[in-house]
Amino acid sequence: MITKREFYINGAWVAPEVARDCPVIDPSTEEVCAVISLGGEADTDAAVAAAKAALPGWSATPPAERRRVVEGILEQYQLRKEEMAKAISLEMGAPIDMARDDQAECLPWHLKNFLRAFDHVEWIRPLGPHAPDTMIALEPIGVVGLITPWNWPMNQVTLKVIPALLAGCTCVLKPSEEAPLSSMLFAEFCHDAGVPAGVFNLVNGDGAGVGTRLSSHPDVEMISFTGSTRAGRAISVAAAQTLKRVTLELGGKGANLVFADADDRAVERGVRHLMNNSGQSCNAPSRMLVERSYYDRAVEIAAEVASSIKVAPASEPGKQIGPVVNKRQWDQIQGYIQKGIDEGARLVAGGLGLPEGMNKGFYVRPTVFADVVPGMTIEREEIFGPVLCMIPFETEAEAVRIANDTPYGLTNYVQSQDGARRNRLARQLRAGMVEMNGKSRGAGAPFGGVKASGRAREGGAWGIEEFLEVKAISGWDVAAE
């Protein structure tokens, strides 16, 4: 069993002010795999104080030097990437091959994209030829609090810490107490890469304790949060008194519009995308809207694909899905499956209970509901598990109406061979991202949503800009340059 009872503050591992042990549960076995300490107000204040003291020096560091330090984090990852994969797999149940190839690899993918964008940042530039003595300067916002979730732990840590460091901010990270091991390993990467003391700090804790203190702390200029919409609202309220910047990346209820002219793999691709990471992705295409003339066949395909998906312990190699993160999540998903049955949706794959042959671990059967009616609970609320809702539609206009009739607006999907239709729908769908025919976003494209999905834009140039202030300077002496 792993014991991690220290926090990383001001360049060193330090004991918490008051020891509050918190077990980390291996969701594959339901057994304790690690013990960490939860921080309190004093620990948070110490981390913020360290970040505040380090800010003047780090913000004045030349961009090239900040780039060099961040490159060092990448070098540390390359030396220890197998450790990272195993930590993620253990703490939140990602199958080891997925943890190795997808979850852990989020770090180098995003980090390299940030470096590419960083090289094109104009830190100070003229407003335009009409105002030659007015300059626009980009400056770090200051001390930032970063609160990250358990479902893609290294994805979110990288999307927040790296642009903050590149922008010249100092930071305090509160990772999820459900999946803290990968973040503590990341802290070791930062230390060994030579990130100056106080520039990066980590305090484990829960939302009510460390999360609330960070959100309301007067010396924290910005909170960047990824998690549930409910928690995002609470953070916004806590941050309001200090007027700090708040960026939120929250939940989703993605609609996948499948037209009769979609390619042969469209339905299977949509099912597997939803089931990936055991459905624990905010951008999962959890509502499959299918044109009526193709609907019956699509339901057959979806049921066949879901029934073929293997569920197994996270340590087992292969392309199976693993458990969901904890008992609370498992219970919630079971409740949604029961609700779907009670409200009259047609269960065509999966269902209640553990998969066959399993009696321990937080495993959910890959589940598909057909004939879901807009307004049903499973159609409205984010389930965050391997549960797909299928809905027929008659016309393109009806599909758009159903897709947009949700509090969320993170990612929507379109499957059609008609290019004009795809382009038209891409503009009509109310979401921060639209992906069509299985094409992923390009490297450095922003990740974020609208409405109850929050309005953060993470990744690439947009991700760096979120940590920068814009200053307008008039009367600049161009001749003095």
DSSP codes of every residue in 202-226: E----IIIIIHHHHH-TT--EEEEE
| Averaged pLDDT, 4-24 | 96
* Confidence band for 19, pLDDT divided at 50, 70 and 90: confident
pLDDT value of position 286:
98
pLDDT value of position 212:
97
What are the phi and psi torsion angles at 252 (to 5°)? -155, 165
pLDDT value of position 458:
98
For residue 348, give every residue at least 6 positions away whose Cβ sits within 8 Å of its Cβ, in sequence order, or none: 299, 302, 303, 368, 369, 370
Could you read off the pLDDT of 26-79 as tens digits, one per residue? 999 999 999 999 999 999 999 999 999 999 999 999 999 999 999 999 999 999
- Which of the 8 DSSP states describes residue 251? -
pLDDT value of position 1:
82
Residue 249 is among the residues annotated as catalytic for this protein = yes
Cα separation of 472 and 139, whole Å? 11
For residue 224, how many C-alpha atoms fall within 13 Å in the half-sphere facing its CB? 32
User: Hey, how many other C-beta atoms are within 10 angstroms of the C-beta on 206?
Assistant: 17
pLDDT value of position 34:
97
Could you read off the pLDDT of 316-373 as tens digits, one per residue? 999 999 999 999 999 999 999 999 999 999 999 999 999 999 999 999 999 999 999 9
| Averaged pLDDT, 398-415 | 98
Res 478 pLDDT > 90: no
- Which of the 8 DSSP states describes residue 195? P
Could you read off the pLDDT of 252-273 as tens digits, one per residue? 999 999 999 999 999 999 999 9
Res 104 pLDDT > 90: yes
Residue 403 in contact with residue 427, Cβ under 8 Å? no
Cα separation of 419 and 422, whole Å? 5
Average pLDDT, the chain: 97
pLDDT value of position 447:
98
| Averaged pLDDT, 148-166 | 98
pLDDT value of position 233:
96
Residue 433 in contact with residue 441, Cβ under 8 Å? yes
Sheet order of strands, 2-4 included: 2-4, 31-37, 21-26
| Averaged pLDDT, 442-463 | 97
Please tell me the total number of residues recorded for the chain in this structure. Answer: 481
Helix (H) or strand (E) holding 304: helix 292-308
Cα separation of 183 and 177, whole Å? 10
Res 481 pLDDT > 90: no
Catalytic site residue from 105, 249, 382, 435: 249
Residue 304 is among the residues annotated as catalytic for this protein = no
Instruction: State pTM to two decimals.
Output: 0.98
Res 165 pLDDT > 90: yes
Catalytic site residue from 106, 169, 282, 389: 282
Could you read off the pLDDT of 213-247 as tens digits, one per residue? 999 999 999 999 999 999 999 999 999 999 999 99
- Radius of gyration of the chain from Cα atoms? 23
| pLDDT > 70: percent of the chain | 100
